Amino acid sequence: MDKKKLTRWDLQQMKDSGEKAVWITAYDYWNASFAEKAGMDMILVGDSLGMCVYGYEGTVPVTMDQCICHCEAVRRGAKSTFIIGDMPFLSYQVSVENAVLNAGRFHKEAGVDAIKLEGGKRVCPQIRAICDGGMLVMGHIGLTPQSSGQLGGFKAQGRTARAAYELIEDAKAIQEAGAFALLVEAVPPEVCDIIRTTLTIPVYSIGAGIDADGQLMISSDVAGVFQAFTPKFVKKYENLAEKTIQAFSAYKEDVKQGRFPAPEHTYKMVEGELEKLQTKLN
């Protein structure tokens, strides 16, 4: 039976009934189809594609056009999964009008179900306007990689009472602005739990502990593809980097040793045609 794509109300119902949602990032057709086959509730086409696909050091260089292209591929690979497009740096910070137009591009050009943007109170006018435009917005607080410079690096957030209080205030403002869900990144579990119980909308964690309405992980981390660094909150379920290098090396050895391609990897000429060709050539 075909998988049924979830709606915001299904996600809300999952929170209300205590069922955890599980989601993962994907950036291309293949990984999107694997995520759908694995039964993910949602897929995020994160701007982490800057690091995971393009090899940038952070997410700041990622453009709208790159995000749209990757969202289109993911949509084709996961037609029955709720897909969230991640708004890249400078696609929503400049003005409310610009934010609505760019959120609209994700929907019109790539067919996403929702967009996500980073920030607390300071992006609430954008969240409200995008929601007024009939779109679904997910908030993202805690470690917000696009402002890692301001945060002093890719560091855990909300570790003091004052910082945690600010995060809780941000979370409340985001819900009030109309977001359908909130992602909390790299904060202590106790703080995420307070946010989850304070808000009525689903609150998801990446690196914010188990007391959330669901968990997000980066696909390249789960599969063990990303090699540059491993955040504390990552659990690698495979080592595809090693397996892929092994496969590439075996292929290289086969070619160098004259073992590939074997007869079974080649095409046969139509019967009698080789003789005709040789006659012609002579």
Contacts with ligand KIV, residue ranges (CB under 6 A): 25, 44, 46-48, 86, 183, 185, 206, 216, 218
Kindly tell me which of 36 and 185 has the beta carbon lying closer to ligand KIV.
185
Q: Which residues, at least 6 apart from 58, have a Cβ–Cβ distance to it below 8 Å?
A: 50, 51, 145, 148
Least distance (Å) between residue 247 CB and ligand KIV:
26
CA 16/CA 10 separation, integer angstroms: 10
Least distance (Å) between residue 35 CB and ligand KIV:
13
Within 10 angstroms of residue 80's Cβ, the number of other Cβ atoms is 10
Kindly tell me which of 77 and 282 has the beta carbon lying closer to ligand KIV.
77
Kindly tell me which of 153 and 258 has the beta carbon lying closer to ligand KIV.
153
Kindly tell me which of 119 and 178 has the beta carbon lying closer to ligand KIV.
119
Kindly tell me which of 186 and 194 has the beta carbon lying closer to ligand KIV.
186
Within 10 angstroms of residue 13's Cβ, the number of other Cβ atoms is 13
CA 281/CA 139 separation, integer angstroms: 71
User: Measured at CB, which residue is nearest to ligand KIV?
Assistant: 46
How far the first Cα of the chain sits from its last, in Å, is 61
Q: Which residues, at least 6 apart from 224, have a Cβ–Cβ distance to it below 8 Å?
A: 236, 237, 238, 239, 240, 241, 242
Least distance (Å) between residue 45 CB and ligand KIV:
8
- Active-site pick, 97, 109, 169, 185: 185
Q: Side chain identity at 139, as an amino acid letter? A: G
Within 10 angstroms of residue 46's Cβ, the number of other Cβ atoms is 28
Any bridge partners for residue 205, and if so which?
Answer: 184, 215
Asked if residues 136 and 8 have their Cβ atoms less than 8 Å apart, the reply is yes
Asked if residues 115 and 88 have their Cβ atoms less than 8 Å apart, the reply is no
Asked if residues 124 and 157 have their Cβ atoms less than 8 Å apart, the reply is no
Least distance (Å) between residue 106 CB and ligand KIV:
14
Asked if residues 111 and 82 have their Cβ atoms less than 8 Å apart, the reply is no
CA 99/CA 94 separation, integer angstroms: 8
For residue 185, indicate whether it is catalytic.
yes
Kindly tell me which of 48 and 215 has the beta carbon lying closer to ligand KIV.
48
Least distance (Å) between residue 165 CB and ligand KIV:
22
Least distance (Å) between residue 231 CB and ligand KIV:
9
Asked if residues 121 and 127 have their Cβ atoms less than 8 Å apart, the reply is no
Catalytic machinery residues: 185
